[in-house]
């Protein structure tokens, strides 16, 4: 056990059996349910809807995060807080006032995460790092599951891991995370892994076997 946080990316789940999926992932040891919200503008795709958030909230007492891949995320903090998200990730790239959005999430008693696109440098969010609970590094360009890992992001991951203890956040990764990448990145200090089609969904092994291997 490495103490890895396992976050199933629920946009990859079997939606014809969502409640059953949530229950089996919960029983299998999943830590945080990861819900991708997209607006077709900040990312060229549409992820999960508000009904999906409601359904998953109603099916589990486990932590739920929403990954807001949307423009002007600050305008939607209350909406997702009321829907029962425990952690709200937003992209500073999509927000003219990211520090204000951090405040809004705090005022709604939720945990705060920032998600950084592959092309976003750590230096551009330096002022935010001490204010947040999670920094999620996108290891693919956001919007779609089943993509290929972008190795140039590894440098940024190492940089964020180096200052996480001092600044008080956990480092998460999201996108094309394979079993090999979990082992490698866990070794260097990454705390949590969003898992979609590369390591969890659509495999022949049951969720319990996979998640016990990754934790
Ligand atoms: C991509 C999403 C990820 C994605 C992960 O924009 O944020 O959560 O669904 O799925 P895989 O592991 O298939 O890349
Ligand atoms: Zn995501």
Name the residue among 63, 5, 2, 1 with its Cα closest to residue 195: 5
pLDDT of residue 56: 98
Task: Give the whole-angstrom CA distance, residue 114 versus residue 118.
Answer: 13
Q: What is the pLDDT of residues 151-172, one digit of tens each?
A: 999 999 999 999 999 999 999 9
Mean per-residue pLDDT pooled into runs of 10, the chain (215 residues): 92 96 98 98 96 98 98 98 98 98 98 98 98 98 95 98 98 98 98 98 98 97
CB 67 within 8 A of CB 36: yes
- Quote the ligand 2 centre to 67 CA distance (angstroms): 5
pLDDT value of residue 177: 98
Note if 36 is an active site residue.
Answer: yes
Number of compact structural domains in the chain: 1
Residue 129 structural domain: 5-214
The per-residue pLDDT for 143 is 94
Tokens of residue 213, six digits: 């291997």
Give the chain's radius of gyration (CA, Å): 16
In the numeric block, the tokens 């600050």 are attached to 74
Question: CA-to-CA distance for 187 and 211, rounded, in angstroms?
Answer: 17
Give the pLDDT confidence score for residue 9 in this predicted structure.
98
Atom of ligand 1 nearest to the CA of 197: 13
Q: What is the CATH number of the domain that holds 111?
A: 3.20.20.70
Residues 210 and 58: their CA atoms lie apart, in Å, by: 25
Longest alpha-carbon distance in the chain: 44
Distances (CA, A) of 112 to 77, 102, 107: 11, 6, 11
Name the catalytic one among 36, 52, 95, 191. Answer: 36
**pLDDT attached to residue 2:** 78
Query: Whose Cα sits closest to atom 8 in ligand 1?
Result: 9
Say how many Å lie between the first and final Cα of the chain, rounded.
5
* Helix or strand run (H / E) with residue 133: none
pTM: 0.97
Q: Is 174 known to be catalytic?
A: yes
Kindly give, in sequence order, each residue whose CB lies less than 8 Å from that of residue 211, ignoring residues fewer than 6 positions away.
Answer: 6, 25, 28, 29, 30, 200
| Beta carbon of 67 within 6 Å of any ligand 1 atom | yes
**Catalytic member of 31, 52, 65, 174:** 174
């Amino acid at each position: 056990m490495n103490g890895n946080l396992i976050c199933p990316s629920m946009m990859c789940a079997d939606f014809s059996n969502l409640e059953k999926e949530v229950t089996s992932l919960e029983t299998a040891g999943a830590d945080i349910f990861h819900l991708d919200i997209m607006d077709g503008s900040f990312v060229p795709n549409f992820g999960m809807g508000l009904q999906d958030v409601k359904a998953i909230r109603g099916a589990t007492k486990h932590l739920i995060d929403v990954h807001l891949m949307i423009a002007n995320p600050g305008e939607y903090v209350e909406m997702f807080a009321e829907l029962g998200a425990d952690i709200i990730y937003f992209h500073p790239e999509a927000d003219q006032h990211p520090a204000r959005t951090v405040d809004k999430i705090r005022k709604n008693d939720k945990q705060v995460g920032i998600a950084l696109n592959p092309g976003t440098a750590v230096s551009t969010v330096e002022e935010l790092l001490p204010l947040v609970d999670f920094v999620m590094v996108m290891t693919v360009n956001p919007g779609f599951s089943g993509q290929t890992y972008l190795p140039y992001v590894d440098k940024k991951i190492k940089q964020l891991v180096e200052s996480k203890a001092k600044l008080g956040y956990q480092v998460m990764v999201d996108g094309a995370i394979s079993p090999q990448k979990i082992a490698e990145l866990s070794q260097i200090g990454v705390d949590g892994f969003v898992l979609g089609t590369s390591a969890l969904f659509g495999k022949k092994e049951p969720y319990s076997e996979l998640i016990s291997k990754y934790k």
